[in-house]
């Protein structure tokens, strides 16, 4: 654990007598009952049980509130059957939570005045052709980030095994018949985010990965974060991916899609220590260490609803079956830029999931509470990261403290039958 325990406490102003205990790290609520003791030890017990229940080798977590890093920690092992433990510097692939970095890169250029939301993509990628020529000509920079172009990631992913690089992948988009009309409804797309990365490269004069390193990761002190699969896999402190009980580390597709194809839609690797800084940046709306890196009014576009999600049970594949109906707060779903937007227990929740071969990640923010959580695991299929995310949220809020690990595990088991 790094950082002070900060304000790991209920939100109720009537709980003043408990504040000192929380500030000293002596109290953590688990299962709805107050337990006095070492907070880390209580959280450890909950996570370790969840790892056993979900048959998951390892988990990494970061918690931030009020610009304080409350927790960065690892649990379990990097590879099933081996002794090396996960810690807060163990690298995990974060899958589609990478899209928030892609969106922030575009937003940076808009904040700089180098790019406009309504700029036609054709001005930067003249070779790009979609199925409908009219859509090709109308496609603008904003469209690339908000999942309403109509091309489905299901169809797009079929091309990844044959694409030689990002441009080759996108050039094949002209063969993909859309599943919905342009700008009519939410249709999740990886290719459009990949195109956004190529626009960033054209405008900045450097590959997206280098732009992200210079303009995002370096200023935030995210020194271990990157999108190079070879260097990530060769890192001695890296988690191994698992599908079910099987480690797929030797497989060529493990860790992420080929670099040139997936970056920036899902190819980033990071650790809990770095992701804590990313959470601070998100909660501060583009500010970090006293510097406003992105103009606040531009930054807020990422956390604002851009595309309405009318049928979350169909469109938001991250939660199976009835899990959404079990959440307290389900009156609206939308997508911003690199983030889903909904509510949890009456608060706005900004979040995203990431799935890539053998890894699952979840990032969630409660902006009104200045609270954020990152969780990654090295096993798929799994929704354990969201169970832990909501569990942490519960600890800060008035009301019931639900055992989300058990709730989600039972729901996932039922939905697979």
- Pairing type for strands 359-366 and 33-36 reads unpaired
pTM: 0.88
* Tokens 């079990």, residue located: 326
Is the separation of the CB atoms in 275 and 374 below 8 Å? yes
Q: What is the mean pLDDT of the chain?
A: 84
SS3 215: helix
Give 118-142 pLDDT, tens digit per residue.
999 999 999 999 999 999 999 999 9
**Among 98-112, 311-325, 327-341, 379-393, which is the least confidently predicted range?**
311-325
Distance (Å, whole) CA 285 – CA 295: 8
Residue 161's pLDDT is what?
Answer: 75
Distance (Å, whole) CA 201 – CA 411: 42
Residue 228's pLDDT is what?
Answer: 81
Residue 42's pLDDT is what?
Answer: 66
pLDDT-derived band of residue 399, with 50, 70 and 90 as boundaries? confident
294, 358, 321: which is closest to 107 by C-alpha? 294
In degrees, rounded to 5, the angle at the alpha carbon of residue 386 between the alpha carbons of residues 382 and 391 is 130
pLDDT-derived band of residue 332, with 50, 70 and 90 as boundaries? confident
Flag whether pLDDT at 6 surpasses 60: no
Flag whether pLDDT at 27 surpasses 70: no
Chain-centre distance for alpha carbon 369 = 19
| Range 67-90 average pLDDT | 96
Would you give the end-to-end CA distance of the chain in angstroms? 39
Distance (Å, whole) CA 47 – CA 384: 10
Distance (Å, whole) CA 342 – CA 307: 12
Give 344-381 pLDDT, tens digit per residue.
998 999 999 999 889 999 999 999 999 999 999 999 99
Tokens of 324: 């959404």
Flag whether pLDDT at 145 surpasses 70: yes
Residue 411's pLDDT is what?
Answer: 78
Which residues make Cβ contacts (< 8 Å) with residue 172, sequence separation at least 6?
A: 159, 163
Alpha helices in 7-128 (DSSP H): 16-23, 39-53, 99-112
Is the separation of the CB atoms in 310 and 148 below 8 Å? no
Residue 124's pLDDT is what?
Answer: 98
> Could you give the C-alpha distances from 52 to 59, 152, 235, in angstroms and in order?
11, 35, 26
More confident residue, 313 or 168: 168
Flag whether pLDDT at 415 surpasses 70: no
Cis status, amide bond into 360, omega within 30 of 0: no
> Could you give the C-alpha distances from 285 to 48, 130, 282, 290, in angstroms and in order?
33, 34, 5, 12
| Range 47-65 average pLDDT | 96
Distance (Å, whole) CA 389 – CA 88: 17
Strand order in the sheet with 340-344: 68-76, 58-65, 371-377, 359-366, 347-356, 340-344, 334-335, 307-308
Looking at the chain, the whole-number percentage of residues with pLDDT higher than 70 is: 81
């Amino acid at each position: 654990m790094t950082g002070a325990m900060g304000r790991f406490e209920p939100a109720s102003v009537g709980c003043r007598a408990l504040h000192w205990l929380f500030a000293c790290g002596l109290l953590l609520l688990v299962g709805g009952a107050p337990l006095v003791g070492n907070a880390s030890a209580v959280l450890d017990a909950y996570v370790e049980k969840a790892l056993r229940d979900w048959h998951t080798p390892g988990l990494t977590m970061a918690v931030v509130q009020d610009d304080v890093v409350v927790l960065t920690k690892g649990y379990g092992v990097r590879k099933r059957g081996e002794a090396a433990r996960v810690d807060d510097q163990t690298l995990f692939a974060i899958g589609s939570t990478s899209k928030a970095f892609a969106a922030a890169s575009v937003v940076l250029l808009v904040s700089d005045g180098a790019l406009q939301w309504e700029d036609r993509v054709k001005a930067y990628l003249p070779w790009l052709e979609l199925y409908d020529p009219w859509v090709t000509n109308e496609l603008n920079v904003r469209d690339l980030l908000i999942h309403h172009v109509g091309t489905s990631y299901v169809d797009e992913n079929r091309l990844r095994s044959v694409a030689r690089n990002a441009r080759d992948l996108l050039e094949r988009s002209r063969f993909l018949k859309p599943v919905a009309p342009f700008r009519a409804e939410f249709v999740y797309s990886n290719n459009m985010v990949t195109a956004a990365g190529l626009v960033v490269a054209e405008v900045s004069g450097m590959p997206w990965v280098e732009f992200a390193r210079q303009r995002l990761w370096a200023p935030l002190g995210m020194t271990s974060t990157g999108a190079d699969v070879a260097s990530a896999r060769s890192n001695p402190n890296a988690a191994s991916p698992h599908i079910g009980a099987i480690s797929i580390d030797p497989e060529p597709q493990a860790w992420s899609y080929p670099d040139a194809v997936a970056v920036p839609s899902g190819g980033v690797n990071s650790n809990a220590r770095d992701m804590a800084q990313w959470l601070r940046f998100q909660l501060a709306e583009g500010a970090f260490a006293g510097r406003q890196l992105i103009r606040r009014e531009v930054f807020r576009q990422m956390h604002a609803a851009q595309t309405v999600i009318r049928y979350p049970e169909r469109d938001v594949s991250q939660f199976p079956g009835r899990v959404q109906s079990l959440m307290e707060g389900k009156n609206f779903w939308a997508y911003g830029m690199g983030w889903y937007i909904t509510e949890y227990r009456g608060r706005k929740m900004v979040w995203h999931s990431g799935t890539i071969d053998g890894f699952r990640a979840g990032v969630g923010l409660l902006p009104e509470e200045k609270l954020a959580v990152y969780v990654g695991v090295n096993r798929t299929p799994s929704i354990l990261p969201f169970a832990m995310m909501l569990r942490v949220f519960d600890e800060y809020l008035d009301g019931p403290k639900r055992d989300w690990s058990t709730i989600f595990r039972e729901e996932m088991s039922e939905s697979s039958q």
